Amino acid sequence: MSTKNVVDAFREAIQDILVPEIRSMKVSIDSLRTEMQLRDENQARAVQGIASEMKLRDEKQTTAIHSLSEKLDFAIDIRERLASLEARMPRQ
């Protein structure tokens, strides 16, 4: 057997062993890649849901604070008017 035949036989044997394994590994990697993409998409949706909920809560808190601020301004205005009226009244 010539050196070329030995090298060709060795190359063919290696390819017969490795090529199916490499293809199998490629399929596994592709499957894992798809699974990771699905998980990433699910994670992104979950984060988006949390962000939306946080925004809604922030808007509710802002509305509540604004409402309290208006009530406080109204109460201060009433207090100032009352103080003005009391100052005009004769002392007894």
d(CA 46, CA 10): 53
d(CA 48, CA 58): 15
One-letter identity of residue 89: M
d(CA 13, CA 15): 5
Dump pLDDT digits (tens) for 20-37.
Answer: 999 999 999 999 999 999
In sequence order, what are the residues at sequence separation of 6 or more whose Cβ sits closer than 8 angstroms to the Cβ of residue 37? none
What pLDDT, on a 0 to 100 scale, did the predictor assign at position 45? Answer: 98
Q: Give the CA radius of gyration of the chain.
A: 39
Dump pLDDT digits (tens) for 35-57.
Answer: 999 999 999 999 999 999 999 99
